Amino acid sequence: MCLAIPGRIVSVDASDPVAPIAQVDFEGQLKTVSLLYVPEVAVDDYVIVQSGFAIRRVDKAEALEALTLARETTIDGARRTATMLGSPMAGEGT
């Protein structure tokens, strides 16, 4: 199963009109992706990326909602795992 996390475009290089690329920020990790399928996107747009290709533009509200849900799910899962292992998460009281 694949979980698609939106990323925010921070720069676009369209110097090659056949193969435009962008730097996309995924929660602090920058990745270079192809804009072949969504050449109309611009800086500050959010995109879904699959196998190095931006495949869909998503609006900001949808992207931020997905990112919030992903963060909450990850934090909740880490807490459950820590509880099962009998140790508190880093930064939490004992």
Cβ atoms within 10 Å, residue 71: 11
Residue 89 counted as domain residue: no
The better pLDDT of the pair 27, 56 is held by: 56
Give me the number of domains the chain comprises. Answer: 1
Parent domain of 69: 7-84
Residue pair 31/7 in contact (Cβ under 8 Å)? The answer is: yes
User: What pLDDT sits at residue 92?
Assistant: 55
Residue 24 counted as domain residue: yes
Residue 91 counted as domain residue: no
Residue 1 counted as domain residue: no
Residue 94 counted as domain residue: no
Residue 42 counted as domain residue: yes
CATH number of 64's domain: 2.30.30.140
Residue 6, token pair as written in the block: 């939106």
Residue 92 counted as domain residue: no
Whether the pTM exceeds 0.85: the reply is no
Residues 76-88: pLDDT tens digits?
A: 666 776 777 776 6
The runs of H, that is alpha helices, within the chain are: 60-85
Residue 2 counted as domain residue: no
Distance CA 71, CA 8 (A): 16
